[in-house]
């Protein structure tokens, strides 16, 4: 278990370092940057959710709302699990925000499929 959390920390730190400017940043600055990226992903998720919801019938809209609420609970629980190895450490906010951002971006892609449905596609909810 701890090895998995440590591996996630290493991956998250490597990602942060690979996109960081050449000037050294403090952990607080890195944490703040990761939090901004997670908030931006959340805003994009809200926009994508509204676009998907607008295409649905009232009954399907209710189903999507329930699914979205369940997905948010899953995302938050998953990130709690994935960050267990760094909880209490200075990198915890960065690792948590990275997890939230990654899962949110996956959900944006899922909801985008609903928005991109073409008329007559039986695999798409209506």
Q: Is residue 43 part of a domain?
A: no
Q: Is residue 34 part of a domain?
A: no
Q: What is the Cα–Cα distance from 101 to 107, expressed in whole angstroms?
A: 10
Q: Is residue 30 part of a domain?
A: no
| Residue 83 lies in domain | 1-12+57-113
Q: Is residue 86 part of a domain?
A: yes
17-26, 87-96, 110-119: which has the minimum mean pLDDT?
17-26
Q: What angle do CA 96, 44, 74 make, to 5 degrees?
A: 45
Contact 49, 107 (CB under 8 A): no
pTM, rounded to two decimals: 0.78
Contact 33, 116 (CB under 8 A): no
Q: Is 60 exposed, middle or buried (0-12, 13-18, 19+ CB in 10 A)?
A: middle
pLDDT tens for 54-79 read: 999 999 999 999 999 999 999 999 99
pLDDT tens for 27-37 read: 999 999 999 99
Cα atoms in the Cβ-side hemisphere of radius 13 Å centred on 48: 19
What total of structural domains would you count in the chain? 1
pLDDT band per the 50, 70, 90 thresholds, residue 118: confident
């Amino acid at each position: 278990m701890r090895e998995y959390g440590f591996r996630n920390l290493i991956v998250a730190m490597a990602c942060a370092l690979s996109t960081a400017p050449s000037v050294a940043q403090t952990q607080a600055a890195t944490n703040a940057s990761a939090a901004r990226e997670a908030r931006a992903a959340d805003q994009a998720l809200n926009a994508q959710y509204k676009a998907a919801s607008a295409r649905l019938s009232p009954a399907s809209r209710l189903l999507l709302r329930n699914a979205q609420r369940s997905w948010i609970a899953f995302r938050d629980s998953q990130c709690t699990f994935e960050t267990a190895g760094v909880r209490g450490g200075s990198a915890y906010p960065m690792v948590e925000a990275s997890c939230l951002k990654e899962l949110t971006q996956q959900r944006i892609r899922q909801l985008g499929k609903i928005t991109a449905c073409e008329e007559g596609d039986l695999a798409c909810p209506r």
